Amino acid sequence: MEPKLLSEAIAQAISERFPDEVKEIREFRGQVSVTVRKERVKEILTYLRSTPQFSFNHLQDVTGVDYLGRKALRFEVVYHLFSISHRHSIRIKAEVGQDDPSIDSVVDIWQGANWPERECYDLMGIRFNGHPDLRRVLLPEDWEGHPLRKDYPLKSDLGERDWKGFKEVVATAQRNRQYEIREVQ
């Protein structure tokens, strides 16, 4: 087995290789996260994937976090990387602003990023440039808004009866009433 590196050492290596890109390195409960600018995030991730001493071949997860009103740049796209051959891990966070919520897709590095990126677009509204098939995945195609954003309400102001979908169901039920079979008296 290849030697395991400490997450701190990996974070150090990233900040030496990309000094202008790394904004912050943080540690919590033994897990290290590296916050970077979004412009060259794909380059950083390619570097981590292809350098033999890191070889982060397993992308555990891609997700987004909305820091509405808490941070200058509203969103963060979070990549959890793990190396099956070396058994070390690191978390890369790329900051994405509200005005242009988009970032480069990493599907050509890890195919497994395909659906998680689609989900992030669907629920958080972050576009992934260069993604082969960026469509909504969990919600219907005509859904409005992105539910995991913090300004998306948990419950609508409208009551159940005022909701568009409910009205449609009632209208369909009324229309179908003509086909009802009535018992002959």
Work out whether 37 is an interface residue with other proteins (CB under 8 A). Answer: no
* Interface segment toward other proteins; rule CB under 8 A; list 8-16, 38-46, 115-123, 159-167: 115-123
CA pseudo-torsion sign 61, 62, 65, 71: positive
Q: Which is nearer to other proteins, 38 or 149 (CB)?
A: 149
Q: How far apart are CA 34 and CA 27, in angstroms?
A: 9
Could you give the residue ranges of the DSSP H alpha helices within the chain?
Answer: 7-17, 41-50, 114-124, 164-176
Strands, E, within the chain: which ranges?
A: 22-28, 31-37, 58-66, 75-82, 89-96, 102-104, 127-129
Binding of residue 98 to other proteins (CB under 8 A): no
In 3-state terms, what secondary structure has residue 130?
A: coil
For the CB of residue 115, give the shortest distance to other proteins in the complex, in Å: 4
CA-closest candidate to residue 119, choices 109, 128, 106, 110: 128
How many residues belong to the site for other proteins (CB under 8 A)? 35
Instruction: Choose the stretch contacting other proteins; rule: CB under 8 A; options: 37-45, 98-106, 148-156, 176-184.
Output: 148-156
- Choosing from 58, 73, 102, 127, the residue that interacts with other proteins (CB under 8 A) is 58
Residues binding other proteins (CB under 8 A): 28-29, 31, 33, 57-61, 63, 65-66, 70, 78, 80, 84, 87, 91, 110-116, 119, 123, 137-140, 147-148, 152, 154
